[in-house]
Structure 1
């Protein structure tokens, strides 16, 4: 797989820790300069940026709220000033609420929808003009396994609704950018081993690792995937939604 990101700038939202950090380091390992985005975890973001630089590429930390249009503009302005225009956008930020829907307060419901759907929309919209102008760009959105089947469950309901929306947006944007040199795809895990809570049983006897997800991400960023857009790779070990 030919994933050479030398000379490219990657912005990974929510990359101070967890899966986002893994994505940021994977991009750096393949030559990209990386913008490490955070909302409040400034120390963790600085540590991730230092690890990016240790790989021989440049890094910047950028703070912002991906649900706020003005904040998104400001964080992209910061990336462009420090590293250049964004070539690779990974929309990783996404809150979840593992409770029965009737027990979720409205503020939490709104937060889950805003971070997953509106954050993906706002960052993609801001990144696209530069990608279109240069005739090359990669957007990868983080979904959730089961969204292909419109997963229904009384727990974590706003998250499932939001991730189904992310998948719909991914495919719409892929169609809308098919003549622009831009691809838009999704990577959808079930449960990752960085999670704070786990179901009773793991597919194939283990949870997904960040490396499992990064492999799918790097495929979408590779030259081998130049003609692949609007696709969704479920990194789930064979998870079936009806087993929830």
Structure 2
């Protein structure tokens, strides 16, 4: 596995008290970075992850609570991380709700939640992170997308999630273009089904879901110092999945 030396860097991973976010954060901690464990309601789990991050070798660890769809709370979250850890060099946007139902069965509040947690949250965290990254002339942003969501996939089930993730990937490329002279890279990693999913399709590429290690490998590639010319890219961690249009 790629194992970049992230000593001296500070990473914030949203939604890192559980699931994929937790594993991505612990992997970064194992590379020597200081880390901020973000949570909204899972405070006890966040403290457990913080302890594990210290065991993995993170020199400094903090936990921070915020609703990342709220502009004021996002600002306060970054203020707290910068007060405790001095800066944010790496931002991983992992938060994002989904609604695996036919679009006609999704109520408006759920529709809004999917877009807010995926699109609005990514916009708010990037908007707050970039001034600091620009000032220091360095930054790495990795957004979590969804495989094939920008390939014109048509599926009435989970439609807001596909639409939201397509927006995230478009935003990723726009940010990459806007930061190309600032020492910052902005990329995305996009799974199909990850090992912590609540349910699995009958058929999976290569007979299995994406493992945490698969996702970590893609993320670490973008965080590696030698990947500093690669920006605006999306790695689909999907085993070669190609959905049929319906």
Q: Deviations over 1:159-188 (max 9, x none)?
A: 000000000000000000000000000000
Q: Secondary structure, in 3 states, of the residue corresponding to 2:195?
A: coil
TM-score by length of 1: 0.98
Q: Secondary structure, in 3 states, of the residue corresponding to 1:60?
A: strand
Map of 1:139 onto structure 2: 141
Q: Deviations over 1:121-151 (max 9, x none)?
A: 0000000001000100000000000123032
Instruction: State the distance in 1 between where 2:216 and 2:245 align.
Output: 26
Say yes or no: does 1:177 pair with 2:179.
yes
Q: Which runs of 5+ in 2 are unaligned?
A: none
Q: Secondary structure, in 3 states, of the residue corresponding to 2:202?
A: coil
- Cα 1:83–1:148 change in 2 (3 A) is same
Contact 1:117/1:165 (8 A) holds in 2: yes
Q: 1:164 aligns with which of 151, 163, 166?
A: 166
Instruction: State the distance in 1 between where 2:211 and 2:245 align.
Output: 21
Map of 1:70 onto structure 2: 72
Map of 1:42 onto structure 2: 43
Deviation at residue 2 of structure 1 after TM alignment: 5.9
Instruction: State the distance in 1 between where 2:147 and 2:48 align.
Output: 30
Map of 2:83 onto structure 1: 81
Instruction: State the distance in 1 between where 2:71 and 2:184 align.
Output: 22
* RMSD (Å), alpha carbons: 1.1
Map of 1:104 onto structure 2: 106
Map of 1:236 onto structure 2: 238
Q: Secondary structure, in 3 states, of the residue corresponding to 1:229?
A: coil
Instruction: State the distance in 2 between where 1:142 and 1:81 align.
Output: 26
Aligned residues: 244
Q: Which runs of 5+ in 1 are unaligned?
A: none
Q: Secondary structure, in 3 states, of the residue corresponding to 1:65?
A: coil
Detail structure 1 runs of 4+ shifted over 3 Å in the superposition. none
Instruction: State the distance in 1 between where 2:236 and 2:243 align.
Output: 12
